[in-house]
Amino acid sequence: MNDLDRQLTELQERFGAAVAAAPSAQALDDARVAFLGRNGEVTSVRRSIGTLPPEARPAAGKRINLAVEAMERMLGDAQVRLEARAFETELAQVVDVTYPGIEPPVGTIHPVRRITEQASAYFARHGFAVVVGPEVEPDYYTFDALNIPSDHPAREGFDSFWLTDSLLLRPHTSPMQIRTMQQHRPPVAIIAPGKCYRRDAVDARHLFQFHQIEGLLVAEGVHFGHLKGMLSGLCRELFGPEQQVRFRPSFFPFTEPSAEVDTTCPRCHGHLQRCGMCGGSGWIELGGAGMVHPNVLREVEYDPDVYSGWAFGVGVERLGLTRYGVDDIRRFINSDPDFLEQLR
C-alpha cells in the first residue's frame, strides 16, 4: 500500500464514522463540506497530485476518484437512513402504530344470489343451461303464447305493472319458456333465473319485486316423474334430506297436469292455528309446475305427439325462508347488515 492509498483509506474511515454519527441533515452536510467540499480534505489530496512524477499522476487521479465515489455512496446511504428515521419520528407523533387496528366491514353475497347460484349449480350438474331474459316483456310472451288469451281469468292472477297497453314488467319467468323454444329445436333443458314484479300487497310471504327460477325440459319421453325427481332433488340440495316437501294438484293454463310444490312453514312448522306466514295450514308454497301444455308446444312449432316436457317456476325468496329459517320474506330486502351477517 503506498502513501496515497493509506491516506485515502484513513480519510474514508473518518468520513464513514462522521456520516454514521451525523444526527441531522445539517451535520451530514458539514461532513460533506469538510471532506468533499472545495476546500475539503479530499480536494487537498487531489491538489497534491501535482507533486507526483507525471507518469504516476493518472493512477493517482483514478484512485482518488474511486475514493470519492465510495464516499458519495456512504453519504447517500446516510441521507436515506436519516430521512427514514425522521419519517418514523413524525409518524409516531400522529399515529400510535402499536394501537390495534379497526377491522373494515366486509360485504357478503346476498342470500337470494347465493340460492340462485346453488340452484344453478345443481341444474348445471344435470345438463341444464342457464339463460337470462328481459324483465320488460310484451304480453305475447307473458300470456298469449303461454295459452292465456286476453280474456282468460288467469291473467288476473298475475296482477302486473303495465308500462303500455301491451308491455309489462314480467310477473313470472315463464316467458323464457317461449323465448327458448322459439330459438332452439328440442331437446331443450334450461333454467332461467331472474327478477319478477307483481302488484301484490307486501306481507310475510309476498313482495312486489321478487325472484323466480324457471325450469324447462322438453324432449321425447319426458314425464312427470322426472319433474318430481328434479324438484325434490333441488329441495334436498338446499334444505337437506329432513325437510318435508309435497306436490299438490293445481292449475296453470300453460301446464297440464299442474302442481304446486309446498314445504312446511318455516315460521310455525305446522304448530300454530293463526300463523301469519302459512295461515295455519302448516305449509308454504315454493312454486308452480307441470307438464308443458300441448297448446304451448304447438305455439313454438314443437309436435306434441313427438315431444313432451315439464316446466316449473319457484320463488327464490320463498326457498330462502326455509333454507335459512327466516320467518318473514321482507327481511331479504331490508338491507339490514346484521341480518345478512347472520346468514353469511
**Residue 290, interface with ligand FA5 (CB under 6 A)?**
yes
Strands (DSSP E) found in the chain: 129-130, 136-138, 167-169, 188-197, 209-219, 245-252, 255-264, 283-292, 308-315
**Residue 135, interface with ligand FA5 (CB under 6 A)?**
no
**Residue 210, interface with ligand FA5 (CB under 6 A)?**
yes
Q: Which of 111, 253, 288, 320 binds ligand FA5 (CB under 6 A)?
A: 288
Q: Which of 252, 283, 307, 332 binds ligand FA5 (CB under 6 A)?
A: 252
Nearer to ligand FA5, 8 or 309 (CB): 309
Q: Which of 186, 282, 313, 320 binds ligand FA5 (CB under 6 A)?
A: 313
**Residue 137, interface with ligand FA5 (CB under 6 A)?**
no
Nearby residues of 298 by Cβ (< 8 Å), 6 or more positions away: 304
**Backbone angles phi and psi of 113, in degrees to 5:** -70, -40
**Residue 312, interface with ligand FA5 (CB under 6 A)?**
yes
**Residue 283, interface with ligand FA5 (CB under 6 A)?**
no
**Residue 152, interface with ligand FA5 (CB under 6 A)?**
no
Nearer to ligand FA5, 190 or 207 (CB): 207
**Residue 318, interface with ligand FA5 (CB under 6 A)?**
yes
Task: Provide the minimum distance between the beta carbon of 90 and ligand FA5 in the complex, in angstroms, as a whole number.
Answer: 58
Nearer to ligand FA5, 18 or 222 (CB): 222
What is the identity of the amino acid at 89? T
CA 84 and chain centroid, separation: 40
CA angle 30, 13, 78 (to 5 degrees): 50
Q: Which stretch binds ligand FA5 (CB under 6 A): 108-116, 130-138, 207-215, 240-248?
A: 207-215
**Residue 321, interface with ligand FA5 (CB under 6 A)?**
no
- The radius of gyration of the chain from alpha carbons, rounded to an integer in Å, stands at 40
List residues bridging with 193 in a β-sheet. 213
Nearer to ligand FA5, 78 or 148 (CB): 148
**Residue 286, interface with ligand FA5 (CB under 6 A)?**
yes
DSSP-derived pairing of the beta strands 129-130 and 188-197:
parallel
User: How many Cβ atoms sit within 10 Å of the Cβ of residue 171?
Assistant: 22
What does the alpha-carbon distance between residue 218 and residue 220 come to, in Å, rounded to a whole number? 7
Q: Is the CB of residue 261 less than 8 Å from the CB of residue 314?
A: yes
**Residue 112, interface with ligand FA5 (CB under 6 A)?**
no
**Residue 188, interface with ligand FA5 (CB under 6 A)?**
no
Nearby residues of 277 by Cβ (< 8 Å), 6 or more positions away: 204, 205, 265, 266, 267, 268, 284, 321, 327, 328
**Residue 172, interface with ligand FA5 (CB under 6 A)?**
yes
List of residues contacting ligand FA5 (CB under 6 A): 172, 174, 198, 200, 206-207, 210, 212, 252, 255, 285-290, 311-315, 317-318
